[in-house]
Chain A
């Protein structure tokens, strides 16, 4: 299965420290929010890329093995992402959402606006994936009568998505806070 990313970096055959050095170079060029796939054959790259992401504040999404190749997925974080205050007025907390989901209501939709790679590695069962960047073009596919809960990692992208939905005539929209980053409920 291929995951949609903004940039693929080929580090196959390179040994430490080159995979991380090159990843850093490319990440410096990316926009906040963009996702990179780093292909490496050096097994040590796994622990190192996780450590590098942790120490730089970038988001390590996960790694898939494809034969001898390790594919690492990283998302460039926006430095202010975590702190940015949510502006959309209708919100719902993680634990409340967990209760709502347990009721299995037919007219409710959980919309996940993170990048496909983030969705791929960890998502709430039943969540529908439309990355924020594609929401505008796909907004017609959504049912205006449904109650829509919008979720992302920290409540920031979902805030923008909720505002966009409201501007387009959706009246039953809630932004999930804080989002996947602190989600303790079921995932798949």
Chain B
């Protein structure tokens, strides 16, 4: 009997376990984007090559514990059943396929705040997107929300939290923000940097320096810091004097790309100024919490992604380019491909187009690709 494995269970294996994966999507999709991890081994054999039988692939598989993965689930069930019949013990398929994998959010507690309350990272491990929930005294703020808002709603319900603020550090190009939808549903205030919101079709509160946001009675402060470069509006946030939410400006292993809103050359100097001056003047003890990770190796043993700012100034190549021309080349030339459907995603986040659920899911397929390196 084959068994379904949920994205949540697979995420657990990615963070701390091991798994052998037979990915039966077509070669292009596999090359582009797949499940990876320290203990994950995977091979690709399209399901359409296995319709007549799995004999050829058997010699490449372990005798037990194989997870079959496809785009939506159907083909993986077909192939998993064939492997089961061929005698492999414990054959699993990924429930909901890569579609579910792309959407699963894993909440990880990062730490406590000074006057009570805590901060969580929601790791969208399949796409490399990181969002945050700050809670104190029954109130919550969510930063850079994913499209699938149910994860935050469930979390708020379980922990008796009222969602008061939805905040986006910038207008996203790689995923559809859940900020507007969840604020409409809960009555929360939706904060956006005004310089990224010229063309939006809905009302919002201005995320700007000076407009601090407090949560709960204990005055957890969220201080916006204008750091343009990835987009012209990109705004970082210092939470509780401890954490630096860097959005898509600074990642653990790389830095943000300035081209997704079509202004690479114009924004190079903004990006450099934000990173090399504004960030450099901040306390090096701040813990950087970016909006993305690039490689699964950036995850710690709990599955969280973070690093002290001081450490990044030592180790992150993007923060250590002395020469300005060299920096310009690094952030404008030989960039990875753009995220899937990034133009349509930006339009959706501005409220200009309103794709169906299925279309939105389709638009978000693939890795985030918001950094200058892959």
Contact = CB atoms under 8 A, between A and B. Distances in A.
Contacts of A16: 47, 70-72, 74-75
B27 interface: yes
A16 B10 CA distance: 22
Contacts of B28: 47, 51
Interface string B343-368: 00000000000000000001000000
A15 B362 CA distance: 15
Interface string A118-138: 000000000000000000000
A48 interface: yes
A24 B46 CA distance: 14
A15 B51 contact: no
Contacts of B29: 47
Interface string A46-71: 01100110010000000000000000
Given A47-B29, A48-B26, A55 B71 contact: no
A43 interface: yes
A24 B74 CA distance: 17
A24 B27 contact: no
B48 A15 contact: no
B147 to A, nearest CB: 19
A20 B72 contact: no
A44 interface: yes
A43 B27 CA distance: 16
Interface residues of A, number: 14
B46 A55 contact: yes
B78 interface: yes
Interface residues of B, number: 16
Given A24-B48, A44-B71, A51-B48, A17 B78 contact: yes
A100 interface: no
A55 B47 CA distance: 11
Interface string B238-280: 0000000000000000000000000000000000000000000
Nearest to A17: B75
A14 to B, nearest CB: 9
Nearest to A47: B26
A1 interface: no
Interface in B19-55: 26-29, 46-49, 51
A47 B26 CA distance: 7
Contacts of B70: 16-17
Contacts of B26: 47-48, 51
B47 A17 contact: yes
A20 B47 CA distance: 9
B27 A51 contact: yes
B51 A21 contact: yes
Nearest to A50: B26
A54 to B, nearest CB: 9
B46 A48 contact: yes
Interface string A15-30: 1111011001000000
Nearest to B28: A47
Contacts of A43: 362
A46 B75 CA distance: 15
Interface string B62-82: 000000001110110010000
Contacts of B72: 15-16, 44
A21 B81 CA distance: 15
B74 A15 contact: yes
B76 to A, nearest CB: 9
A3 B336 CA distance: 40
Interface in A101-123: none
B151 to A, nearest CB: 25
Given A17-B74, A17-B75, A55 B362 contact: no
Nearest to B24: A17
Given A47-B28, A47-B29, A55 B48 contact: yes
A16 B75 CA distance: 6
Nearest to A44: B71
A24 B49 CA distance: 11
Contacts of B51: 17, 20-21, 24
Contacts of A47: 26, 28-29
Contacts of A18: 74
Nearest to A21: B51
Interface in B274-306: none
A34 to B, nearest CB: 20
Nearest to B52: A24
A44 B47 CA distance: 13
29 contacts: A15-B72, A16-B47, A16-B70, A16-B72, A16-B75, A17-B47, A17-B48, A17-B51, A17-B78, A18-B74, A20-B47, A20-B48, A20-B51, A21-B51, A21-B78, A43-B362, A44-B72, A47-B26, A47-B29, A48-B46, A48-B48, A51-B26, A51-B27, A51-B28, A51-B48, A52-B46, A52-B48, A55-B46, A55-B48
Interface of B: 26-29, 46-49, 51, 70-72, 74-75, 78, 362
Given A17-B51, A21-B78, A48-B48, 8 more contacts: A16-B47, A17-B48, A17-B74, A18-B74, A20-B47, A20-B48, A47-B29, A48-B46
